[in-house]
C-alpha cells in the first residue's frame, strides 16, 4: 500500500521551464501559501501516471492537492514527524537517497574502463606472500615487511624467482607452482593484487604491497589478449592407475571413431554433477579452472573439437568444445562491468576518492594541541569529562576531543594515527551529507516530497486504514446504512469490498473535518488563468 501511495505522489520526471506567473499564490491552507509552481510540479508528475482522461482535469487534481495539504497540516499538528518510527524511516530513506551523491561518477567510469582493459588482456604473474593478519601489531607488521623486502632484494640480486618463492612465500600453492599463479584477468584477484599486477611492466617486479592476506611482491611474466570465455563438456575418470589410463585412451578412440560424447559421459564419467547434461560445464574464462584443464579447453579451435586425454589432480579428462565467447565490445559490457566494479569494492574506493575531492572545498583544521593527548598510551582510560577541547573543525562545525575518544573505544587493533584519519574522513562525509540539502535542490526536493508523503501516509494509516480494521462496529453500521448499494445480505459475504468502501467513507469524513478545522482560500482568478493555460 505504501509503495502505491508514494508512486502516485512522487513519480520522478524532469521539470519544465516555468514563467514568473508561477510564483503567484494559487491557494492558502490555514494561512500557508501554495504557489502555482508548487501545484504544477505535482500535476506534471501525476499526469504521467493517470490513464483516465476524466481524471486529468486541473480542478480534480487541485482538489487532491488541497486535500493532501490539509492532511499534511493535520499530521504536523499531531506531531507525527516527532515519532521515533517516522524519524527512523526518514533516516533510512535519506541514506538510500544519498548513496548516488557519495559516488564519484568520473572515478567509477575510470574503474569501468580499467576493468574492460583487464578483461580484454590477461596477465601471468608469479608472487611471494608473507602472511599477516589485518589486526597485527605494529611490531609484527614491521617484521613481515622486512621479510618481504629481504625476499625481493634477493631476487633483485640475481636469485631465481622460483627459488625465492619456495624459500619465503607463505602461499600454500607455492609447493607445486613455485609462485606462478598462471593467467588471470579482471575480478579474479582481490583488487590491490590485480592493480599491482596490471601496473607492473612485463618482466618487472612490483614494490611490496599489502592485501588482506599480507604483504606481496610480484613479477609479471606475460600480458596478452584474452580469448574470452569457453563452454565445454568433459568426461572425467578419477582412476589414475594404468587401468584408468587404458580406459581413457579407449574412450578417446571411440570418440575419434564417431561415438556419441553424451552417451560416453553417461556410461563412464565420474563427475556426477554433469552426467545428466552430457558433461557440460558453465562457461569460464582465464583463471577459473585448473591450469591444464584451461589450456586444453582454450586450445580447441572449432565447435565439437575434442582434446586428447590429459591429467589433473582430479584424474583423467577429455574435453569437447561447445562454444567460444570472445570478449565483447566495451559498450556491450559497460553496464555489467559497472555492476561488478561496484560489487567488488569500487563504491568504497569511489567514496574515498570523493572525500579527497570534498576536502578541497572545506576549511578543515586539526587542533594539534588537543590531539597531543591521544598519543598517551593510557588515553582510553581517561575520564571523558576532561576531553572537552575542540579537536577538529570542519567549516563552522566543531568536534571536541570526546567525539574521537568515543570513536576509538574498542578499536585498539589500529594505531591512533590511522584511527584519526578514519574519524576525520567519516566526519567530513557526515558534514557533506548534512549540507547536501542546502547545496543540491534536486536532493532537497526529493527528500522533502518523501517526508511529506510519509507524514500523510502515517496520518491515513492512523485515521483511516487502522481505524477501519479495528472498528468492527463502525463497519457494520456503515454496511447497514448503505446496504442497498450491495447485492449481498451480510458483511462477511464480501468484507473486502465493504472495507474498501468504508475506508473511502472515513477518508471523506476526515477531509470534511479538516476543511472545517483549517480555512482553505483559492484565488479563483489565478486558477482560471491556469486552466486556460493548460487548455491551450
Average pLDDT over residues 472-501: 92
Dig out the grid coordinates for 255 from the structure.
570418440
Across all residues in the chain, what is the average pLDDT? 91
- Short-list 528, 453, 433, CA closest to 101: 433
Sheet order of strands, 364-366 included: 364-366, 390-394, 397-400
pLDDT band at 191 (very low <50, low <70, confident <90, very high): very high
Which of 201-215, 344-358, 443-457 shows the lowest mean pLDDT across its residues?
Answer: 344-358
d(C-alpha 261, C-alpha 232), whole Å? 12
CB 392 within 8 A of CB 420: no
pLDDT band at 2 (very low <50, low <70, confident <90, very high): low
pLDDT value of position 47:
81
pLDDT value of position 15:
38
pLDDT band at 17 (very low <50, low <70, confident <90, very high): very low
Between CA 466 and CA 478, with CA 472 as vertex, the angle to 5 degrees is 100
Write a three-state SS string for 215-282: EEEEEEEEEEECCCEEEEEEEEECCCCHHHHHHHHHHHHHHHCCCCHHHHHHHHCCCCCCHHHCCECC
Dig out the grid coordinates for 389 from the structure.
577541547
pLDDT band at 3 (very low <50, low <70, confident <90, very high): low
Dig out the grid coordinates for 458 from the structure.
502515517
Helix, strand or coil, per DSSP, at residue 503: helix
Which of 264-273, 294-303, 351-360 shows the lowest mean pLDDT across its residues?
Answer: 351-360
Class of domain 120-225: alpha beta
Average pLDDT over residues 390-411: 93
Q: Same fold for the domain at 120-225 and the one at 229-325?
A: yes
pLDDT band at 419 (very low <50, low <70, confident <90, very high): very high
Backbone angles phi, psi at 228, to 5 degrees: 90, -130
Model confidence at 397: pLDDT above 90: yes
The CATH code for residues 2-77+442-535 is 1.10.4030
Average pLDDT over residues 233-262: 96
pTM score, two decimals?
0.61
- Four-CA torsion 89, 91, 94, 99, nearest 10 degrees: -110
pLDDT band at 19 (very low <50, low <70, confident <90, very high): low
Per-residue pLDDT tens over the stretch 101-153: 887 888 899 999 999 999 999 999 999 999 998 878 888 999 999 999 999 99
Average pLDDT over residues 398-427: 90
Per-residue pLDDT tens over the stretch 32-62: 999 999 999 989 888 877 776 666 789 989 9
pLDDT value of position 13:
35
CB 98 within 8 A of CB 443: yes
* Residues constituting the chain: 536
pLDDT value of position 502:
95
Domain 229-325 in CATH 1.10.10.10? The answer is no
Each domain of the chain, given as residue ranges in start order, spans 2-77+442-535, 120-225, 229-325, 366-428
State whether the Cα torsion 83-5-46-52 is positive or negative: negative
Provide CB contacts within 8 A for 169, sequence distance 6+. 127, 128, 129, 130, 151, 179
Match 560489487 to its residue by C-alpha cell. Answer: 343
Average pLDDT over residues 287-313: 94
Model confidence at 456: pLDDT above 70: yes
Which of 3-7, 308-312, 324-328 shows the lowest mean pLDDT across its residues?
Answer: 3-7
Amino acid at each position: 500500500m505504501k509503495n502505491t501511495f508514494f508512486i502516485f505522489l512522487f513519480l520522478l520526471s524532469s521539470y519544465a521551464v516555468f514563467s514568473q506567473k508561477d510564483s503567484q499564490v494559487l491557494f492558502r491552507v490555514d494561512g500557508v501559501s501554495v504557489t502555482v509552481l508548487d501545484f504544477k510540479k505535482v500535476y506534471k508528475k501525476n499526469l504521467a501516471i493517470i490513464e483516465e482522461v476524466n481524471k486529468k482535469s486541473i480542478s480534480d487534481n487541485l482538489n487532491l492537492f488541497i486535500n493532501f495539504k490539509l492532511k499534511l497540516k493535520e499530521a504536523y499538528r499531531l506531531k507525527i514527524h516527532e515519532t521515533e518510527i517516522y524519524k527512523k524511516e526518514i533516516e533510512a530513506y535519506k541514506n538510500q537517497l544519498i548513496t548516488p551523491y557519495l559516488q564519484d561518477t568520473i572515478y567509477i567510469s575510470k574503474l569501468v574502463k580499467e576493468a574492460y582493459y583487464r578483461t580484454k588482456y590477461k596477465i601471468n604473474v608469479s608472487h611471494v606472500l608473507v602472511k599477516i593478519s589485518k589486526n597485527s601489531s605494529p611490531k609484527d607488521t614491521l617484521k613481515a615487511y622486512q621479510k618481504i623486502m629481504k625476499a625481493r632484494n634477493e631476487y633483485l640480486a640475481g636469485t631465481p624467482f622460483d627459488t625465492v618463492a619456495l624459500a619465503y612465500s607463505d602461499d600454500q600453492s607455492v609447493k607445486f607452482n613455485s609462485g606462478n599463479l598462471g593467467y588471470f584477468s579482471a575480478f579474479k584477484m582481490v583488487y590491490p593484487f590485480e592493480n599491482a599486477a596490471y601496473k607492473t611492466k612485463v618482466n618487472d617486479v612490483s614494490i611490496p604491497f599489502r592485501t588482506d592476506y599480507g604483504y606481496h611482491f610480484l613479477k609479471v611474466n606475460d600480458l596478452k589478449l584474452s580469448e574470452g570465455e569457453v563452454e565445454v563438456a568433459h568426461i572425467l575418470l578419477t582412476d589414475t592407475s594404468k587401468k584408468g589410463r587404458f580406459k581413457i585412451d579407449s574412450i578417446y578412440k571411440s570418440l575419434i571413431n564417431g561415438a556419441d560424447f553424451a552417451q560416453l559421459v553417461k556410461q563412464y564419467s565420474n563427475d556426477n554433477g554433469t552426467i545428466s547434461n552430457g558433461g557440460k560445464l558453465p562457461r569460464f574464462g582465464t583463471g577459473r579452472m585448473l591450469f591444464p584443464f584451461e589450456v586444453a579447453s582454450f586450445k580447441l579451435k572449432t565447435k565439437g573439437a575434442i582434446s586428447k586425454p590429459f591429467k589433473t589432480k582430479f584424474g583423467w579428462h577429455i574435453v569437447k568444445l561447445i562454444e567460444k565467447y570472445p570478449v565483447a565490445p566495451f559498450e556491450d559490457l559497460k553496464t555489467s562491468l559497472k555492476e561488478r566494479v561496484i560489487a567488488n569494492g569500487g563504491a568504497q574506493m569511489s567514496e574515498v576518492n570523493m572525500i579527497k575531492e570534498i576536502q578541497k572545498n572545506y576549511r578543515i583544521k586539526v587542533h594539534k594541541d588537543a590531539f597531543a593527548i591521544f598519543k598517551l598510551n593510557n588515553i582510553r582510560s581517561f575520564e571523558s569529562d576532561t576531553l572537552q577541547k575542540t579537536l577538529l573543525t570542519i567549516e563552522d562545525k566543531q568536534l571536541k576531543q570526546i567525539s574521537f575518544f568515543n570513536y576509538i573505544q574498542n578499536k585498539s587493533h589500529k594505531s591512533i594515527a590511522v584511527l584519526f584519519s578514519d574519524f576525520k574522513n567519516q566526519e567530513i562525509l557526515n558534514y557533506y551529507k548534512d549540507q547536501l540539502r542546502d547545496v543540491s535542490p534536486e536532493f532537497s526536493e526529493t527528500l522533502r516530497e518523501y517526508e511529506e508523503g510519509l507524514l500523510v501516509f502515517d496520518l491515513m494509516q492512523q485515521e483511516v486504514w487502522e481505524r477501519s480494521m479495528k472498528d468492527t462496529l463502525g463497519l457494520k453500521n456503515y454496511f447497514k446504512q448503505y446496504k442497498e448499494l450491495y447485492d449481498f445480505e451480510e458483511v462477511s459475504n464480501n468484507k473486502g469490498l465493504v472495507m474498501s468502501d468504508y475506508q473511502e467513507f472515513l477518508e471523506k469524513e476526515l477531509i470534511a473535518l479538516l476543511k472545517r478545522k483549517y480555512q482553505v482560500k483559492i484565488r479563483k482568478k489565478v486558477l482560471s488563468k491556469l486552466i486556460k493555460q493548460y487548455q491551450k
